[in-house]
Amino acid sequence: MAQKQEEGGLLETVKVIVQALAIALVIRTLLFQPFNIPSGSMIPTLLIGDYVFVSKYAYGYSNYSMPFGPNVFSGRILASPPKRGDVVVFKLPRDNETDYIKRVIGLPGDRIQMIEGRLYINGVVVQREKIDKARTENREGQEVPVATYRETLPGDAEHAGVEHTIIEIEGDHGINDNTELFVVPPDHYFMMGDNRDNSTDSRIAPELGGVGYVPFVNLVGRAEVIFFSVKKDESALAFWRWPWSVRWDRLFKPAH
């Protein structure tokens, strides 16, 4: 009888573990995916070492929304297009494997151009307001104060324009501060990082190692909230260092 009780207890434990894994898989596949910020292209909105939850349902589902990207259907189901200003995780179009995170700047049909460091959308310069300087690393790895702006993207009849903070490490004379005129194709989006002079994004062509236009189908989801954050070069798994390594003030902040 004791052996039967032991076997029954083991079976119940296995069932609980299987159920927990199934629930986690459903959440990971259909609802939320954790994402770690590996680079500084979205500073100051997102820092290296931030961990964010990405809503998978925000734009509907494509093959790239699923773990390992199985080729089970074409296009998107339950599709809902992103709004200008959304912070989005997507699969890099030139390999369809690497996860990138950027801000949606251009919608299908938009004309996008950078002129002397200023962003133009459909021929109109985007409003920006100078604010207190942020500090970040320059190309030499030195932490310095940098030009910082509150930028307001154009809205529409239903939504006010999104306000967000950008930095210009090289002022208005960075390598990508003067570009050609981009016309966003149908069902594609133009992405840029908030760290304007240190972001590989849609301003750079795929054949030059950049992003180019991002197809709607490549979108994984929308960044929602920072649920954990550790300082640069710290491991999130080193829990014994958390009192000093965790950026407590960043926990549960919006990721956009």
Per-residue pLDDT reduced to its tens digit, 138-195: 777 788 999 999 999 998 777 789 999 999 999 999 999 999 999 999 999 999 999 9
Instruction: State pTM to two decimals.
Output: 0.87
Structure tokens at 14: 């296995």
Residue 231 φ/ψ, nearest 5 degrees: -65, 155
Residues linked to residue 129 through DSSP beta bridges, in sequence order: 150
Residue 200 φ/ψ, nearest 5 degrees: -85, 105
Asked if residue 165 lies in contact with residue 150, where contact means CB atoms within 8 angstroms, the answer is: yes
Q: What's the rounded Cα separation, in Å, for the pair 194 and 201?
A: 10
- Return the pLDDT at 92: 97
- Return the pLDDT at 197: 94
If you average pLDDT over every residue of the chain, what do you get?
88
Q: Is 80 a catalytic residue?
A: no
- Return the pLDDT at 22: 46
Catalytic residue among 56, 62, 91, 102: 102
Q: What's the rounded Cα separation, in Å, for the pair 211 and 221?
A: 17
User: What residues have CB less than 8 Å from 193, skipping those under 6 apart?
Assistant: 41, 42, 102, 103, 199, 200, 201
Q: Which is nearest to 65 in space by CA: 83, 90, 82?
A: 90
Asked if residue 51 lies in contact with residue 35, where contact means CB atoms within 8 angstroms, the answer is: yes
Catalytic residue among 41, 199, 229, 245: 41
Q: In this predicted model, what pLDDT tens digit does every residue of 2-33 receive, in sequence order?
A: 555 555 556 665 655 655 554 444 445 556 78
Q: Which CA distances in Å does 51 have to 33, 210, 224, 225?
A: 10, 24, 11, 8
Task: Identify the band that residue 73 occupies on the pLDDT scale cut at 50, 70 and 90.
Answer: confident
**How many residues can be counted in the chain?**
256
| Mean pLDDT, residues 232-241 | 94
Q: Which is nearest to 188 in space by CA: 208, 159, 217?
A: 217
Q: Enumerate the H helices of the chain as residue ranges.
A: 2-26, 242-245
Q: Is 102 a catalytic residue?
A: yes
